[in-house]
């Protein structure tokens, strides 16, 4: 379910956060469903348990998961909405980037072609 790229510059805990959110958004992890335990996930990823715990703590802080003492971590009922809201907030980043690209001489058609390519790649991977 989780795959960590050890050669990536993205810290492992951030990769876990991102992948958990993608699994929730895609409906693989459903509201009320338990996440793997910190121990089992750290063993399967060959990662330090503190790294996994850090990712889960951040997801809990965001309201995407909730931690039940002695039981584990579970996807919250509002997780999908929280993820969608945060994603929509990032549209302003896309707008700023598009303005920057246009100012640098990149055409609207080039930008749209790149967005279409990303969308096609995501559909092939089942991310969309």
Which tokens in the block code for residue 114?
A: 């790149």
Tell me if 32 sits within 8 A of 66, measured CB to CB: no
pLDDT at 128: 56
Q: Domain extents for the chain? A: 12-82, 90-125
Q: Give me the CATH topology for the region 12-82.
A: Arc Repressor Mutant, subunit A (1.10.10)
Distance of CA 119 to the CA centre of its chain: 16
Please name which of 50, 46, 19 lies closest in space to residue 35, comparing C-alpha atoms: 19
DSSP string, 63-126: TSEEEETTTEEEE-TTHHHHHHHHHHHTHHHHHHHHHHHHHTT--HHHHHHHHHHHHHHHHHHT
Q: Per residue of the chain (128 residues), what is the pLDDT tens digit?
A: 899 998 999 999 999 999 999 999 999 999 999 999 999 999 999 999 999 999 999 999 999 999 999 999 999 999 999 999 998 888 889 999 999 999 999 999 999 999 999 999 888 876 65
Give the pTM: 0.78
């Amino acid at each position: 379910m989780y795959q960590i790229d050890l050669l990536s510059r993205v810290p492992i805990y951030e990769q876990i956060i991102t992948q958990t959110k993608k699994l929730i958004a895609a409906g693989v992890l459903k509201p009320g469903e338990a996440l793997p335990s910190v121990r089992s996930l750290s063993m399967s990823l060959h990662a330090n348990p503190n790294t996994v715990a850090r990712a889960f703590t951040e997801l809990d802080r965001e309201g995407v998961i909730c931690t039940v003492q002695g039981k584990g971590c579970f996807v919250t009922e509002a997780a999908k909405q929280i993820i969608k809201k945060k994603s929509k907030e990032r549209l302003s980043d896309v707008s700023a980037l598009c303005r920057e690209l246009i100012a640098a001489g990149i055409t609207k058609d080039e930008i749209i072609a790149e967005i279409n390519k990303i969308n096609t790649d995501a559909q092939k991977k089942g991310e969309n």
